[in-house]
């Protein structure tokens, strides 16, 4: 049992905005009352939030491991975690090792993370790696928008069978939801091509277009009753003028719920790199008029990082543009992967536009339950730099200081100088916790109400926002104090969230011969066994 007394509570899920209240915890849940003699945290004068929820990050699996292997120079200069009584050793940096990932997230008050891109073929390894990420709860999204078995069925007009195949893959991967990356474009990359136009058939198919994949996969997620809608990385990421593709994609989604990933990378105008500019006003207005849609910002922070994505053609272009190291993987019939280290510089006009675009979206989309804090870790910057974004959102003067460092040519290309909005603590709590939890369908997260998971972060109120959000005084995970006076004191194992959608039993008979023809792995060895999952939390979709 635990009492947290005297704190100023910010709980957007329940409309509580800075009221002084007490919280009571028993058996890992919030309860109405506990024994007055229970252990007590005196939070008088402090800020109390629900634990943070990262709706879109990359922390485990083949891609982030590839990035770690390609960045030895970062390992040499980064923060080292020395083994102690409560901690395992590890490294920070822009692709932290598994144990360090859990320590760093919890050390900022984040208690749930969503690994947003998992090929089914490597899901077993991803889960085993996630079991080495302590403290935080986890979920995974399985990559489906370029799965050739599913694409073949869509081409043939066999929607019901495609739906059953997606459901089978979800359960085989022990995943929580569906991720769509550059629909059709990664499949086309196997032919050395891309898929930039939503209405053009993709390479290798006669009539299947990216637009059809987007619409049908969104409908499949709805029909399967998944708690999180399709999680979409749009076509034409990162390119000047891609706002046209993004808005066209959103029209293909009319009538559907959807989550648009890292929207910063999809909100550019201009015909080439010299003309690149922000088009966030159009995109933000679309979101403001469509409450069924959510997005994470994918904000950019200046400095070194490593970019990882299943969008292979984009990564090849980034390699050609920068001349940096490049890694590419073809994941058999399912997807791809590309890795390129990158440095965002305030003196670079394109990078300056990207920096502004991420902040503009967070500030122009009015409802913090629609737009969430993210950097698409590690692509736009490392997750442990989230407090820097919070400072930029809460302080217009701080934004002005940074804008003064940008190139003179930025004038007229961005709208950030005209935006005076400053986030309140209530809005920060919504964008970092309550909003992403609701979008993921995790009603027990991001919520300080009775019966919800007792994940709490307590901050010392401080005018230095980066210091305040970077170093909470206390963090409670499932009722257990894990950060005490700013130090890690316990490292419990979190849960993994999994969905079990319904599919026709005949689906396995349909898939087995195709595996024998197309995969290097036998059908029997492909699905992830439940025994591989640490503390699974299975949700039936019916």
Q: What is the pLDDT of residue 170?
A: 98
Residue 183 — φ and ψ, nearest 5°?
-50, 120
HEC assignment per residue over 383-401 = HHHHHHHHHHHHCHHHHHH
CA distance 469 to 425: 11
Q: Coil, strand or helix: which one is 463?
A: coil
pLDDT at 74 over 90: no
Q: From 258, 55, 260, select the one nearest 139 (Cα to Cα).
A: 55
Q: What is the DSSP letter of 384?
A: G
pLDDT at 91 over 90: no
- Helix boundaries (H) for 224-277: 243-252
CA distance 318 to 321: 5
- Helix boundaries (H) for 224-279: 243-252
Kindly give, in sequence order, each residue whose CB lies less than 8 Å from that of residue 192, ignoring residues fewer than 6 positions away: none
Average per-residue pLDDT for the chain = 95
CA distance 335 to 151: 12
CA distance 163 to 223: 8
CB atoms within 10 A of CB 446: 30
Q: What is the pLDDT of residue 448?
A: 98
Q: What is the pLDDT of residue 152?
A: 97
Query: pLDDT for 290-305, tens place per residue?
Result: 999 999 999 999 999 9
Looking at per-residue pLDDT, the higher value among 319 and 536 belongs to 536
Candidate CATH numbers 1.25.40, 3.40.50, 3.20.20, 3.10.100; the one for domain 52-85+112-442+492-496: 3.20.20
Structure tokens at 1: 């049992």
DSSP assignment of 412-435 = TT-SGGG------HHHHHIIIIIH
Domain boundaries, the chain: 52-85+112-442+492-496
Q: What is the pLDDT of residue 333?
A: 86
* Rounded percentage of the chain residues whose pLDDT exceeds 70: 100
Peptide bond into 378 cis (omega under 30): yes
Sign of CA dihedral 187, 230, 130, 49: positive
CA distance 347 to 325: 22
**N- to C-terminal Cα separation, the chain:** 35
Do 499 and 227 touch, CB atoms closer than 8 A?
yes
Structure tokens at 340: 């390129």
CA distance 148 to 184: 9
134 — pLDDT class (breaks 50, 70, 90) = very high
Do 373 and 380 touch, CB atoms closer than 8 A?
no
Give the residue-averaged pLDDT of 308-319: 89
Q: What is the pLDDT of residue 461?
A: 96
pLDDT at 199 over 80: yes
Do 51 and 456 touch, CB atoms closer than 8 A?
yes
Helix then strand then coil, % of the chain, to nearest 5: 35, 25, 40
Query: pLDDT for 460-515, tens place per residue?
Result: 999 999 999 999 999 999 999 999 998 999 999 999 999 999 999 999 999 999 98
112 — pLDDT class (breaks 50, 70, 90) = very high
Query: pLDDT for 164-182, tens place per residue?
Result: 999 999 999 999 999 999 9
Separation in Å, CA 327 to CA 64, 68, 333: 12, 12, 19
pLDDT at 88 over 90: no
**Does the pTM of the predicted model rise above 0.85?**
yes
CA distance 479 to 407: 48
CA distance 172 to 124: 10
CA distance 518 to 276: 42
pLDDT at 79 over 80: no
Give the residue-averaged pLDDT of 327-356: 93
Do 226 and 219 touch, CB atoms closer than 8 A?
no
Give the residue-averaged pLDDT of 108-135: 96
Helices (H) and strands (E) in the chain, counts: 18, 26
Q: What is the pLDDT of residue 87?
A: 80
Q: What is the pLDDT of residue 84?
A: 81
Structure tokens at 136: 């935080």
Query: pLDDT for 4-45, tens place per residue?
Result: 999 999 999 999 999 999 999 999 999 999 999 899 999 999
């Amino acid at each position: 049992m635990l009492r947290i007394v005297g704190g100023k509570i910010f709980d957007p899920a329940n409309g509580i905005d800075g009221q002084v209240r007490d919280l009571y915890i028993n058996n890992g849940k919030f309860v109405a009352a506990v024994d007055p003699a229970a252990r007590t945290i005196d939070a008088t004068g402090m800020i109390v939030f629900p634990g943070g929820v990262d709706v879109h990050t990359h922390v485990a699996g083949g891609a982030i491991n590839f990035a770690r292997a390609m960045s030895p120079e970062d390992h040499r200069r980064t923060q080292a975690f020395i083994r102690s009584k409560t901690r395992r050793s590890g490294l920070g940096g822009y692709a932290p090792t598994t144990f360090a990932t859990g320590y760093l997230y919890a050390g900022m008050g984040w208690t749930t993370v969503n690994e947003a891109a998992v090929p089914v073929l490597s899901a077993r390894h991803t889960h085993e790696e996630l079991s080495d990420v302590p403290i935080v709860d986890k979920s995974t999204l399985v990559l489906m928008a370029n799965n050739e078995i599913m694409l073949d069925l869509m081409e043939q007009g066999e929607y019901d069978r495609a739906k059953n195949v997606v459901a089978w893959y979800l359960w085989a991967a022990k995943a929580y939801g569906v991720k769509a990356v550059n629909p059709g474009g990664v499949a086309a990359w196997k032919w050395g091509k891309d898929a930039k136009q939503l209405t053009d058939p993709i390479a290798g198919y006669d009539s299947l277009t990216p637009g059809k994949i987007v619409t049908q996969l969104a409908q499949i997620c709805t029909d399967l009753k998944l708690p999180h809608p399709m999680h979409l990385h749009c076509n034409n990421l990162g390119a000047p003028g891609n706002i046209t593709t993004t808005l066209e994609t959103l029209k293909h989604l009319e009538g559907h719920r959807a989550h648009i990933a890292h929207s910063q990378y999809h909100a550019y105008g201009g015909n080439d790199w010299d003309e690149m500019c922000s088009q966030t006003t159009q995109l933000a207005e679309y979101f403001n008029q469509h409450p069924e849609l959510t997005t994470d910002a994918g904000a950019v922070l200046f400095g070194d990082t490593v970019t990882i994505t299943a969008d292979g053609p984009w990564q090849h272009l980034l390699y050609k543009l920068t001349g940096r190291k490049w890694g590419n993987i073809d994941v058999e019939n399912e997807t791809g992967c590309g890795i390129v280290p990158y440095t965002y510089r305030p003196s670079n006009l394109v990078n300056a536009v990207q920096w502004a675009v991420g902040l503009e979206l967070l500030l122009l989309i009015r409802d913090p339950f629609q737009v969430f804090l993210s950097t698409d870790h590690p692509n736009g910057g490392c997750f442990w730099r989230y407090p820097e974004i919070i400072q930029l959102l809460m302080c217009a003067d701080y934004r002005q200081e940074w804008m003064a460092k940008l190139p003179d040519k930025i004038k007229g290309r961005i709208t950030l100088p005209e935006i005076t909005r400053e986030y309140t603590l209530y809005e920060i709590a919504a964008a970092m916790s309550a909003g992403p939890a609701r979008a993921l369908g995790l009603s027990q997260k991001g919520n300080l109400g009775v019966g919800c998971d007792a994940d709490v972060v307590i901050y010392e109120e401080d005018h230095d926002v980066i210091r305040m959000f970077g170093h909470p005084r206390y963090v409670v995970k499932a009722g257990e104090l894990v950060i005490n006076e700013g130090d890690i004191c316990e490292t419990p194992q979190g849960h993994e969230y999994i969905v079990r959608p319904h599919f026709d039993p005949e689906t396995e008979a349909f898939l087995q011969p195709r595996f024998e023809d197309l995969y290097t792995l036998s059908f029997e060895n492909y699905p992830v066994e439940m025994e591989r999952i640490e503390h699974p939390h299975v949700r039936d979709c019916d």
